[in-house]
Amino acid sequence: MEIVSENRSFGGVQGVYKHSSNTCGCEMTFAVYLPPQAQEAPVPLLWYLSGLTCNHENAMTKGGFQEHAARHGLAVVFPDTSPRGAGVADDEAYDLGQGAGFYVNATRDPWRQNFRMYDYILTELRAEVLENLPVQDRHGITGHSMGGHGAITMAVRNHGMFESLSAFAPIANPTRSDWGRKQLSAYLGDDESAWSQHDSALLLDEFGWKGDLLVDQGASDQFLDLLKPEVLADSMARRRQPGQVRIHKGYDHSYFFVNSFAGDHVAWHAERLN
The catalytic site residues sit at 145, 221, 253
What phi and psi, each to the nearest 5 degrees, are found at residue 200?
A: -60, -45
Among left, alpha and beta (phi > 0; psi -120 to 50; other), residue 6 is: beta
CA 211/CA 84 separation, integer angstroms: 35
Q: How far is CA 103 from the centre of its chain?
A: 8
Side-chain half-sphere exposure of 27, counting CA atoms within 13 A = 9
- CA 46 – CA 168 distance, rounded (Å): 14
- Looking at 110-261, which runs of residues are DSSP E strands? 135-143, 164-168, 213-218, 243-248
Distance CA 178, CA 184 (A): 10
Torsion of CA 103, 80, 86, 93, to 10 degrees: 60
- Measured distance between the N- and C-terminal CA atoms of the chain, rounded to whole angstroms: 28
